[in-house]
Amino acid sequence: MAYKDLHDSPFDESTIAKLEIFQDYAQAWIPTFVMQPHISEIHIFDFFAGTGYDKNGVAGSPIRILTKIQEQKGYLFQKNVNIVVHLNEFEPIKKKQQKFEQLKKSCSEFMEADSSLSSRVKIEYYNEDFETLFPKLISTIKDYPSLVYLDQNGIKFLSEKYFMELEKTSQTDFLYFVSSSYFWRFGKSDEFKIHLDIDMDEAKKNGYKKIHRTITRELRNKLPVYTKLKLYPFSLRKGVNIHGIIFGASHPRAVDKFLSIGWKRNGDNGDANFDIDDEAGNAQLDLFVGQKLSKIESFKQEVCDRIREGVIKNNFEMLNFVYEQGHIGKHAADCLKDMKSKGEINFIGSSSPSVTYDNVFKNKKKVEYQIIKK
Ligand SMILES: C[S@@+](CC[C@H](N)C(=O)[O-])C[C@H]1O[C@@H](n2cnc3c(N)ncnc32)[C@H](O)[C@@H]1O
C-alpha cells in the first residue's frame, strides 16, 4: 500500500495534535524515572523519527523529545541520570537516505546549541528497517525503563509479532500511531490480515467514527488473559480519515498520566480530537428518549449506581473502575462528593473521596464509602 510522505508538506492540525500528545507524554514520563532512587539510565526510542522538522520548521517527534529532555536537564544532573535517545529513520527502497541525513543534522544542531546537554543525553542514530531494528533493540527496551514511540505510516507494524513483544515488557510505555480507518476499508484483505487479524464484521458494528476505539478494543482481546498491559486509544480525525494513538503501559501511574493528558485535550470525551460520541446535540431534548447523557454524565451515573448497589466500596476499587473505563479520578470524585452532600454516603477515614493515584497507589490510603441507611 502506498502512503503519502508526512514530510512532503507542512504538518497538518491532526499531526500536530499527535505530536503534542507524544511530547506531553514525554514531559510526564521523564520525571517519574529521573526522580526515583537507584535509576541511573533511561531510554527513549523513536523508531520512525522523520527528519526533525517539517517544511515550515515545526518540530517533529525527535526534536520534541529532545526539548522535553532539555527542559528537565537540571534534574538529570541533580539525580545523576543519563538518557539514551534512540532515533531511527529509514526510507524503504530509496538508495539515498536523505531523511535520515536530515534527522542527524537537525538533532546534532539541537544538541550543539546546548553544550552541557550531551553530558547527560546520548543519541544513537539508526538507518534501518523497523523490521530488522526492533529485534535488535528489544533486549535494551526490556532492560531499562523505556518509552517507545512507533509513529509508523499505516498499520503494518501493529502486527502481533511486535505488539506481543512489547506486551512482555514490564517497565515500558509505548505510543503507537495507527491509520485505523484503513482497517475499515481493507481490514478483510489478506494483506491486512497477515499483520493483524481483526473481526471486521464485529468492528464495523460500532460505526466508522469509532473505528480507532474498536481496533484498540480488539487488540485488548488479543492480549494474554493475565496480562498487566493496559491499552487506551486517542482518535485523531484527519479529513475523512480516522487515525489514532494507542497508548500501552502496565503501571497505573502511566495510565493515570496518559488519561489526564487525553482529558486535558478534550474535556468532553478524553479520547479524540473531535466529537466522537456526537455529544454536540445532547442539550436538545429528544421527545422520545429524553435528554441523552454525555460520556461524563453516564459515567457518573454508573459510579452512583455501583456505590448504591455496594459493588464499589472504597477508593481503591473506585480508582480501578475509573482507569478501566478510561476516565480520571475527578469524574468519580465529583459524583461521590455530590452523594455525600445529599446525605447518601460518608467517607470513612477522610474528608474527601480520595480517588487519586497518590492516595491509592503511592500512599496506600484506603477510604471506605459507607452508605447511610435511611
Ligand atoms: C509518520 S512518519 C514519522 C514522523 C515523525 N515522527 C515526525 O514527527 O516527523 C513515518 C516515518 O517512518 C519512515 N519509515 C517508513 N517505513 C519505515 C520502516 N520500514 N522502518 C523505519 N522507518 C520507516 C518514513 O520515512 C517516515 O519518515
Name residue, grid cell 496506600.
364
Name residue, grid cell 497508548.
247
On whether residue 195 sits in a domain, the answer given is: yes
Ligand 1 geometric centre to CA of 151 (Å) = 7
Residue 167 in contact with ligand 1 by CB distance below 6 A: no
Residue 60 in contact with ligand 1 by CB distance below 6 A: yes
Structural contact between residues 354 and 367, judged by C-beta atoms closer than 8 angstroms: yes
25 shares a domain with 168:
yes
pLDDT of residue 196: 85
Ligand 1 geometric centre to CA of 153 (Å) = 6
Q: Whose CA is nearest to atom 22 of ligand 1?
A: 90
- What's the domain range around 141? 6-265
Residue 2 in contact with ligand 1 by CB distance below 6 A: no
Question: Left if phi > 0, otherwise alpha if psi is -120 to 50, otherwise beta: which for 127?
Answer: beta
On whether residue 272 sits in a domain, the answer given is: no
Structural contact between residues 42 and 31, judged by C-beta atoms closer than 8 angstroms: no
Residue 49 in contact with ligand 1 by CB distance below 6 A: yes
313 shares a domain with 239:
no
Structural contact between residues 355 and 318, judged by C-beta atoms closer than 8 angstroms: yes
123 shares a domain with 63:
yes
Runs of H (alpha helix) within 95-129 = 98-112
On whether residue 300 sits in a domain, the answer given is: yes
Task: Confirm whether pTM is higher than 0.75.
Answer: yes
53 Cα nearest atom in ligand 1: 9
pLDDT of residue 160: 86
**Strands, E assignment, the chain:** 41-46, 82-88, 121-126, 146-150, 172-178, 230-238, 241-249, 345-348, 368-371
On whether residue 285 sits in a domain, the answer given is: no
316 shares a domain with 167:
no
333 shares a domain with 255:
no
Ligand 1 geometric centre to CA of 51 (Å) = 9
Number of domains in the chain: 2
Q: Whose CA is nearest to atom 27 of ligand 1?
A: 50
Amino acid at 368: E
355 shares a domain with 238:
no
Residues of the chain scoring pLDDT < 50 = none
Ligand 1 geometric centre to CA of 211 (Å) = 23
On whether residue 309 sits in a domain, the answer given is: yes
182 shares a domain with 49:
yes
pLDDT digits (tens, 9 = 90+) for 21-42: 999 999 999 999 999 989 999 9
On whether residue 310 sits in a domain, the answer given is: yes
Give the HSE-up count for residue 357: Cα atoms under 13 Å, Cβ half-sphere.
13
162 shares a domain with 91:
yes
pLDDT of residue 320: 98
On whether residue 94 sits in a domain, the answer given is: yes
202 shares a domain with 108:
yes
Q: Whose CA is nearest to atom 15 of ligand 1?
A: 91
320 shares a domain with 187:
no
Rounded to whole angstroms, how far apart are CA atoms 148 and 330? 28
CATH code of the domain containing 235: 3.40.50.150
pLDDT of residue 281: 73
On whether residue 151 sits in a domain, the answer given is: yes
Residue 52 in contact with ligand 1 by CB distance below 6 A: no
Q: Which of 265, 287, 321 is the last residue of a domain?
A: 265
334 shares a domain with 244:
no
129 Cα nearest atom in ligand 1: 20
117 shares a domain with 245:
yes
